[in-house]
C-alpha cells in the first residue's frame, strides 16, 4: 500500500513528463490572457501544430452542442467554440496523454464521458442559478476528477483494486480510495493541479469536490461541481457502475452554500430545477456520445486538417 508521501515524488515527476507537446505551454499562456489581448491567429497556428487537439476541437465544434455545423477548418472550429472552450479542450487532451493505454482501470471513454457530462451539467446549472462565469464552471467540471488519472499512473495496481472493490460493492470510488490507499483522487489531483499551476479556484474544486464543506476558496464553485458530479453519477454518467446512493438536493450542504451566495435560490422550486437538469441530461448524453463515438480510422487526422 502506498502513502501519499510515497506517491508525492512520483506525482511531481508528472509535471515534467515529456509527452506534453512543446506546443501546449505557449498555447496555454496565450489562452490564459485577457480575452481582448488574445491573438486569434496565434491560437489557430499553435493548435494546427497538434493534430490531436485540432481534431478534438473539430469534433466538439461539430457536436450537437454547437449545432453540427459541418466545421472543417481549425479557424472556424475555434470561432464556433470560443476561446475559453479551447482552453478546456487543450487541458483535457494534455491530461489524457499522461495515461498509457494499458494502465486505465476504468475505460478512458467512461472517464471522459463523466468529465464532459459534469462540465456540461456544471455550465447549465451555473446559468440556471446565476453563477457569473459558466465557462469557468465548465472547465472545473471537466477537470474535477483529474486525480483519477494521477492515481491510474502512479499507483496503477492499487488503484485498479480500489476501482474493482468500488464497482463490486456499488460504493463511491473516493471512499474506497481513502480506505485502501489512504488518500483519494482529490489529494493527488490537487498535487498535480499545483504542479501545473492551475488557478486556486480550480485547485479548490479538484481537492474538495467530494467534501465541499471545508472548501477554503471558491465555495460556490466547489458546491456547484459537487452537485453536478452527484447528478452525473446518479444519471448514468458516472464511472461505469451503479453506485448505491440517494441524493436529496435540498439536504445537501453544497446546496445550502449556493443558497447562501445566491439568496434568490431559496425561492426556486427544486423539483422544477431537477426537471430542468433532467431535460438537459438527455441533450448532454447526446453530446457526450457524439464527442466520444469511435471515429472511422483516418478521420480528422493530421492529413485532413486545414487551418
Ligand atoms: Fe471525484
Ligand atoms: Fe466526478
Kindly state whether residue 277 falls inside one of the protein's structural domains. no
Kindly state whether residue 284 falls inside one of the protein's structural domains. no
Supply the range of the domain harboring residue 300. Answer: 18-97+294-307
Q: What does the pLDDT read at residue 274?
A: 74
Q: How many domains does the chain have?
A: 2
88-115: pLDDT as tens digits: 888 888 777 778 889 999 988 889 888 8
Beta carbons of 181 and 151 less than 8 angstroms apart: yes
Read out DSSP for 184-228?
Answer: -HHHHHHHHHHHTT--HHHHHHHHHTT--TT--S-HHHHHHHHHH
132 in the same domain as 154: yes
CA–CA dist 85, 75 (Å, integer): 14
Q: What does the pLDDT read at residue 170?
A: 93
Q: Which residues surround ligand 2, an ion (CB under 5 A)?
A: 145, 229
Q: What is the pTM of this model?
A: 0.83
12-26: pLDDT as tens digits: 665 444 344 566 778
Ligand number nearest CA of 233 is 2
146 in the same domain as 57: no
115 CA from centroid of ligand 2 (Å): 7
**Radius of gyration, CA atoms only, the chain:** 19
The residues near 48 (Cβ < 8 Å, ≥ 6 apart) are 54, 74, 305, 307
Residue 19 burial (CB count, 10 A) = 10
48 in the same domain as 143: no
| H or E element, residue 7 | helix 4-14
Answer yes or no: is pLDDT of 299 > 70: no
59 in the same domain as 4: no
The residues near 240 (Cβ < 8 Å, ≥ 6 apart) are 106, 107, 110, 167
Q: What does the pLDDT read at residue 300?
A: 44
Kindly state whether residue 150 falls inside one of the protein's structural domains. yes
Kindly state whether residue 280 falls inside one of the protein's structural domains. no
Beta carbons of 211 and 183 less than 8 angstroms apart: no
Q: What does the pLDDT read at residue 19?
A: 41
Q: Which stretch of 223-227, 258-262, 265-269 has the lowest confidence by average pLDDT?
A: 265-269
73 forms beta bridges with 306
Beta carbons of 111 and 148 less than 8 angstroms apart: yes
195 in the same domain as 300: no
63-80: pLDDT as tens digits: 877 766 677 888 989 888
164 CA from centroid of ligand 2 (Å): 17
What mean pLDDT do residues 129-152 have?
91
From the DSSP assignment, how many helices (H) and strands (E) are in the chain? Answer: 16, 0
Kindly state whether residue 205 falls inside one of the protein's structural domains. yes
Which of these, 141, 144, 148, 20, lies nearest to 85 by C-alpha position?
141
259 in the same domain as 149: yes
235 CA from centroid of ligand 2 (Å): 12
31 in the same domain as 9: no
Is residue 248 exposed (0-12), middle (13-18) or buried (19+ Cβ within 10 Å)?
exposed
226 CA from centroid of ligand 1 (Å): 9
173-198: pLDDT as tens digits: 999 999 998 899 999 999 888 877 78
Ligand number nearest CA of 150 is 1
Amino acid at each position: 500500500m502506498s502513502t501519499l508521501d510515497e506517491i508525492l515524488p512520483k506525482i511531481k515527476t508528472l509535471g515534467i513528463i515529456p509527452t506534453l507537446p512543446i506546443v501546449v505551454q505557449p498555447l496555454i499562456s496565450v489562452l490564459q490572457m485577457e480575452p481582448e489581448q488574445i491573438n486569434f491567429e496565434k491560437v489557430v497556428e499553435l493548435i494546427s501544430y497538434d493534430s490531436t487537439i485540432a481534431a478534438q476541437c473539430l469534433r466538439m465544434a461539430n457536436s450537437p452542442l454547437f449545432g453540427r455545423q459541418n466545421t472543417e477548418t481549425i479557424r472556424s472550429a475555434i470561432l464556433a467554440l470560443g476561446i475559453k472552450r479551447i482552453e478546456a479542450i487543450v487541458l483535457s487532451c494534455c491530461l489524457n496523454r499522461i495515461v498509457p493505454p494499458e494502465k486505465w482501470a476504468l475505460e478512458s471513454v467512461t472517464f471522459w464521458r463523466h468529465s464532459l457530462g459534469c462540465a456540461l451539467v456544471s455550465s447549465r446549472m451555473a446559468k440556471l442559478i446565476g453563477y457569473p462565469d459558466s465557462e469557468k464552471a465548465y472547465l472545473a467540471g471537466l477537470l474535477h476528477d483529474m486525480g483519477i488519472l494521477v492515481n491510474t499512473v502512479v499507483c496503477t495496481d492499487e488503484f485498479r483494486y480500489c476501482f474493482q472493490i468500488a464497482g463490486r460493492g456499488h460504493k463511491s470510488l473516493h471512499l474506497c480510495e481513502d480506505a485502501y490507499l489512504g488518500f483519494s483522487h482529490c489529494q493527488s489531483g490537487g498535487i498535480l493541479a499545483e504542479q501545473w499551476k492551475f488557478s486556486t479556484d480550480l485547485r479548490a474544486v479538484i481537492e474538495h469536490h467530494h467534501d465541499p464543506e471545508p472548501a477554503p476558496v471558491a465555495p460556490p464553485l466547489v458546491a456547484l461541481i459537487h452537485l453536478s458530479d452527484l447528478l452525473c453519477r446518479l444519471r448514468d454518467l458516472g464511472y461505469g457502475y451503479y453506485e448505491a446512493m440517494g441524493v436529496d438536493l435540498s439536504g445537501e450542504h453544497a446546496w445550502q452554500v449556493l443558497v447562501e451566495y445566491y439568496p434568490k435560490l431559496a425561492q426556486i422550486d427544486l423539483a422544477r430545477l431537477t426537471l430542468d437538469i433532467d431535460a438537459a441530461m438527455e441533450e448532454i448524453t447526446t453530446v457526450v456520445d457524439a464527442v466520444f463515438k469511435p471515429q472511422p480510422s483516418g478521420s480528422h487526422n493530421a492529413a485532413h486538417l486545414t487551418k
